[in-house]
Amino acid sequence: MKYLLAGLGNVGNEYDATRHNIGFDVADAFVIKHGGTFKVDRHVFHSEVKFKGRTFVVIKPTTYMNLSGKALKYWIDKEKIPLENVMVVCDDLALPLGTIRLRASGSAGGQNGLKNIELLLQSQNYPRLRFGIGNNYPKGQQVNYVLGKWKTDEIELVKLTILKSVDAVEAWSTTGIGNAMTMFNK
């Protein structure tokens, strides 16, 4: 069985360790846990790893967040992966830090990477993991907050939530989205 894990973020050192790049961080943790490495490929950093008899194609789009759909569509088509076997990981301002939400489908909810994916896939019917980054920013400072680095007192919780996200992706692939949602959407 083949799965695609897409961690959303932006390429470039200036975006490393920012809230908006948490999808990249989850993809990195998943690949490291399963002994893989990334290489540059068409529109993405790409890795392929095995987990419990499943092959995971793991991508981090190099198209920048707002054009994530281009990379995702290319790799779904290339690898012939059904949408129910695709998991997209992105940041979510509406969720408190330390919270993750798995969904089988749904709207973009204002997340520009998801908007572009929906536009190019012509569907909202793909699983996603939303990683809560909180919304502790002054009015008018949303962009600076999202593109900002984690605060020192947030880093430990971020690391733990990344590990929980990896566990959630594994559970989704072995037990299905419904069971994984029950386990992790608390």
What's the N-to-C CA distance of the chain in angstroms? 28
20 is catalytic: yes
Check 20, 34, 43, 46 and give the catalytic one.
Answer: 20
Burial of residue 180 (number of CB atoms within 10 Å: 0-12, 13-18, 19+):
buried
**CA distance readout (Å), 12 to 63, 133, 144:** 11, 20, 16
List Cβ neighbours of 145 (8 Å cut-off, separation of 6 or more): 19, 93, 135, 136, 137
Say how far apart CA 120 and CA 118 lie, in whole Å: 6
Residues known to be catalytic: 20
